[in-house]
Amino acid sequence: MMHEPELDVLIIGAGFGGIRMLHEARRRGLSARVLEAGDDVGGAWHWNRYPGARTDSESWVYCFAFDKDLQDDWDWPERYPSQPQVQAYLKHVVERFDMHRDIELNTRVEAAVFDEDRDLWTVTTESGQRIVCRTLVSATGPLSAPQEPPYPGLADFQGEWYLTARWPHEPVDFAGKRVAVIGTGASGIQVIPLVAAVAERLTVFQRTANYAIPARNYVLDDLQRQSIKSRYNEIWEQVSRQAMGMAMNPANRVFSDVTPEQRQRLLEAAWEEGGFRFFLETFDDVFVDPESNEAISEFIRNKIRTIVKDPATAELLCPKPDHPFGAKRPPLGNFYYETFNRDNVDLVDVSSNAIDDVTETGIRLMDGTEYELDMIIFATGFDALTGALTRIDIRGRGGRSLAEKWQDGPRTHLAMAVDEFPNFFMVAGPQIPFANAPAMIEPAATTIGAAISQLRDKNQTRVEVVPEAVEEYNNLLHAFYNATIFPAGAKLRAWWLGTNVEGKTLGVAMNFGGFPTWAESVKAEAAEGFEHYRFSTNPDAQPSQAAAEVKTGADMT
């Protein structure tokens, strides 16, 4: 019996990862389609349209590197692109490469089941559509499943309420309103200064103080753009060597190399430069040497004490001594601490006196204190890394779901594949490095494309990572993790450890060993013929039709 798959590749998600993967599939002559839950492309940059949303990566590396003309033609307006600018860029890419015809919007994937007899995936959407494909690639993003507010009283709240991660298309009017923001992670820290500028009163509910580094955004001049474009080869070369996949230089020094006076000067200069350069270009041992880390942590606390005029508010904004810098993902701020000098802004500490519930008129704390509000903004974070994947019923060999397999935390090979889940790949899945997303997507999409091409070219029907490779990668991740300050994040509810979600176990769900070694391993997998993967042919399964028609070039690995 012949079993014809409709598609070589079905991709879930039309953000950076899905768009890049679609391009990769097409250039290899694979038939591909993208299913996207949103009503437009953009992924995280479609949903997180709250005021102040912008990247923490510099624009010239927050983009695709696969096409020189695309790179040369696009003009980034600012150092850090805003949400509308990033989404405009992604829409431009989709149009330029005529991708719309292969992207289905408003299509949420509900389930995907691997048929072991036919070596095919059957994917079911929310509307009941069924698609059969040889390989399934998820590009669902690490931060795309928001946490719902856990307050039963919210249903009776008479005011407006919003999630930063599900911000409406229509403008939200803060003028003359008493607004609350719950959450002081990267999202809260971006939205707070802008709401404060307009709202009658802004009350910020803070459970854990964070280290916000000034972003120091600026408008790019034509001459700066010209300079960036002329150096692109060098820029991507820098990215490939840099720990977080950014165009920065290593500090080439550790904390103990310099005197206390030199340290202060270096940190002051880096604070002026702003952004991730603050910690990536000062000392290379910030995340491994507690003394180096404490120096940076205390430097930021002192900046907070200098900027914020009310000493009690300043102390509340200072992260506690058991919170090393970076143990939670450091956010970038645009006049964040300055906002607390405004007369219309209050900071409420809910670390020991937690929010009890939302009432009809506002928020009530455990001790009975009530806040009357017209609007509540929840910047309360995500069921990160695994959430978007485990919310889909993905079943591999033996019928076991990914959610069941990952009960104690995800275990992947290079954030790309999972044993027992044949013909399934992830672009930037759980266990990715803590790094610039577009930089990570590039080698991941290329290698995944190479694996699928190999399957097709050899008329094979199944590819699966061997469990030993998953074990080896996880041993490595544990070794990296245990050599850093990152374990301190567990008690601080760091999203990358899963402890921000009640009852969730993530284990070591990120690679803290840096971008370059990971990217090298991903590329080596393809270059060395996928030695950690088993390719096989099921005689009852029909190989992909495209195999007969399309030949790929030797440079396609």
- Please give the residue ranges that form the binding site for ligand NAP (CB under 6 A): 54-56, 143, 182-188, 190, 205, 207-208, 329, 350, 355, 379-382, 493, 495, 500
Residue 144 or 557 having the CB closest to ligand NAP: 144
Tell which residue, 513, 207, 474, 490, has the closest CA to residue 327: 490
Contact 112, 126 (CB under 8 A): no
Distances (CA, A) of 349 to 16, 346, 450: 37, 10, 51
Q: Cβ of residue 496: shortest distance to ligand NAP, in angstroms?
A: 8
**How far apart, in whole angstroms, are the C-alpha atoms of residue 477 and residue 557?**
26
Q: Cβ of residue 257: shortest distance to ligand NAP, in angstroms?
A: 30
What angle do helix axes 232-241 and 222-230 make, rounded to 10 degrees? 70
Tokens 């559509």 belong to residue: 129
Residue 25 or 182 having the CB closest to ligand NAP: 182
Q: Cβ of residue 454: shortest distance to ligand NAP, in angstroms?
A: 33
**How far apart, in whole angstroms, are the C-alpha atoms of residue 25 and residue 294?**
46
Q: Cβ of residue 348: shortest distance to ligand NAP, in angstroms?
A: 10
Q: Cβ of residue 275: shortest distance to ligand NAP, in angstroms?
A: 10
**How far apart, in whole angstroms, are the C-alpha atoms of residue 8 and residue 544?**
6
Residue 34 or 437 having the CB closest to ligand NAP: 437
Strands (E), 505-556: 533-536
**How far apart, in whole angstroms, are the C-alpha atoms of residue 476 and residue 472?**
6
Q: Cβ of residue 326: shortest distance to ligand NAP, in angstroms?
A: 11
**How far apart, in whole angstroms, are the C-alpha atoms of residue 367 and residue 356?**
8
Distances (CA, A) of 355 to 155, 286, 367, 490: 16, 34, 9, 21
Distances (CA, A) of 342 to 301, 310, 335, 449: 20, 11, 11, 52
Residue 29 or 274 having the CB closest to ligand NAP: 274
Q: Cβ of residue 536: shortest distance to ligand NAP, in angstroms?
A: 38
**How far apart, in whole angstroms, are the C-alpha atoms of residue 406 and residue 408?**
5
Structure tokens at 396: 């591999």
Element (H or E) spanning 160, and its range? strand 160-163
Contact 452, 9 (CB under 8 A): yes
Q: Cβ of residue 206: shortest distance to ligand NAP, in angstroms?
A: 7
Q: Cβ of residue 188: shortest distance to ligand NAP, in angstroms?
A: 5
Tell which residue, 72, 91, 88, has the closest CA to residue 19: 91
Residue 207 or 391 having the CB closest to ligand NAP: 207
**How far apart, in whole angstroms, are the C-alpha atoms of residue 73 and residue 84?**
18
Residue 14 or 327 having the CB closest to ligand NAP: 327
Query: In this structure, what are the phi and psi dihedrals at residue 72, rounded to the nearest 5 degrees?
Result: -75, -30
Residue 454 or 500 having the CB closest to ligand NAP: 500
Residue 263 or 323 having the CB closest to ligand NAP: 323
CA atoms within 13 A on the CB side of 557: 12
Question: Letter for the amino acid at 167?
Answer: W
Q: Cβ of residue 388: shortest distance to ligand NAP, in angstroms?
A: 13
Residue 59 or 557 having the CB closest to ligand NAP: 59
Residue 145 or 266 having the CB closest to ligand NAP: 145
